[in-house]
Amino acid sequence: MSGTDRQQAILDLLRAETSVETEDLARRFDVTPQTIRRDMAVLVERGLAVRTHGGAQRRASTSTLAYEDRRLRHAREKEAIGRVVADMIPDGSSIMLNIGSTTEQVAQALSNHKDLLVITNNINVVHILRMSEIASLKIAGGSVRPSDGAIIGGDAVAFMDRHKADFAVIGCSSLDADGAILDFDEREVAVARAILRNARQKILVVDRSKFDVDASVRICSLGELDVVVTDGPLPESFLQAAEAAQTRVICTSDPNHTPV
């Protein structure tokens, strides 16, 4: 079991049992107590647990834990997507990023870029990039959603409409086999749409598990995107829709993929 998978399992236990013991976890996962302590340190750093004598207990709210679930699930795939997108963004570019665990991996992969102008409604992106050598980092104003650090609402939409960027990088909660890009929250979707209409190149970052999620609010169609970067083979109907829309699909699992 990888460290990421083990941390996810510890998080699941914290949700179910409130507290856990280091020695018990070491036996459960057949690793050393030192390995478990390192895993716990990661969860503590993310605000999801507090250390106790001999273990840890849950600290985060249920909604925050749910977002951390999304961060940890398919983490390696999201990291690979982030690296591919970062290779597509030259130094000195301007980029808009919305909320999402995969867009945060794009931000992480961009942390060594220079002279970027980054515009976002994602508080986590600000934390990731604030110490990097970027030219400017701008964050929208508006209502903050505590569960994930998204800034949403009319003020955030107006903020995005006052800017123009070379690249938009957005995530989503759901993909439909016919090519629809979907999410749950209309306020979040309104910001994503504003990001798309104010960018010259539009990139969707998404892992293929989103085909298993059913959301109802449409962000856009494939025809409104230039590139989709994903982690593996997609349904044939989706690929056909992308071809008809002249939208490029890049799969990180394909060893022959090349940057746009």
Which CATH number do you get for residue 39?
1.10.10.10
Q: What is the mean pLDDT of the chain?
A: 89
> Is pLDDT at 242 greater than 80 in this prediction?
yes
User: How much is the pTM?
Assistant: 0.75
Residue 35 lies in a domain: yes
Number of domains comprising the chain: 2
User: Taking 90 as the threshold, does the pLDDT of residue 186 lie above it?
Assistant: yes
Across the range 112-138, mean pLDDT stands at 94
Domain membership of residue 37 (yes or no) is yes
The answer to whether residue 24 is domain-embedded is yes
Phi and psi angles of residue 174, each rounded to the nearest 5 degrees, phi first: -150, 145
Whether 142 is covered by a domain: the verdict is yes
Burial (Cβ within 10 Å: 0-12, 13-18, ≥19) of residue 118 = buried
pLDDT attached to residue 32: 94
Q: In this predicted structure, what is the pLDDT of residue 19? A: 86
Asked if residue 67 and residue 89 are part of one domain, the reply reads no
Judge whether 224 lies within some domain.
yes
Same domain, 149 and 176: yes
Cβ neighbours, 10 Å, residue 224: 15
Q: pLDDT (tens digit, 9 = 90+) per residue, 36-79?
A: 999 988 888 766 778 888 898 876 554 455 666 666 677 889 99
Statement to judge: residues 112 and 215 lie in one domain: yes
Residues 87 and 43 in one domain: no
Q: Which stretches of 18-115 are DSSP H helices? A: 22-29, 33-45, 62-72, 75-88, 101-109
Would 145 be classed as within a structural domain? yes
Rounded CA Rg of the chain:
19
Query: E strands within the chain?
Result: 19-21, 49-52, 55-58, 94-97, 117-120, 136-139, 143-145, 150-152, 165-170, 174-175, 180-183, 199-205, 217-221, 227-230, 248-251
Domain for residue 186, yes or no?
A: yes
CATH number, domain of 230, equals 3.40.50.10470
State both tokens at 228. Answer: 């989709």
End-of-domain residue from the set 47, 71, 95 = 71
Domain boundary among 71, 93, 109: 71
| 134 & 215 share domain | yes
Task: Indicate if 203 and 124 belong to the same structural domain.
Answer: yes
* End position of a domain, from candidates 22, 56, 71: 71
129/38 same-domain check: no
User: Given a cut of 50, is residue 258 above it in pLDDT?
Assistant: no
**Span 168-188, mean pLDDT?**
93
Instruction: Report if residue 231 sits inside a domain.
Output: yes
Predicted local distance difference test score (pLDDT) of residue 68: 61
Higher pLDDT, 7 or 107: 107
Q: Are residues 221 and 103 in the same domain?
A: yes
- Are 120 and 173 in the same domain? yes
Range of the domain at 11: 3-71
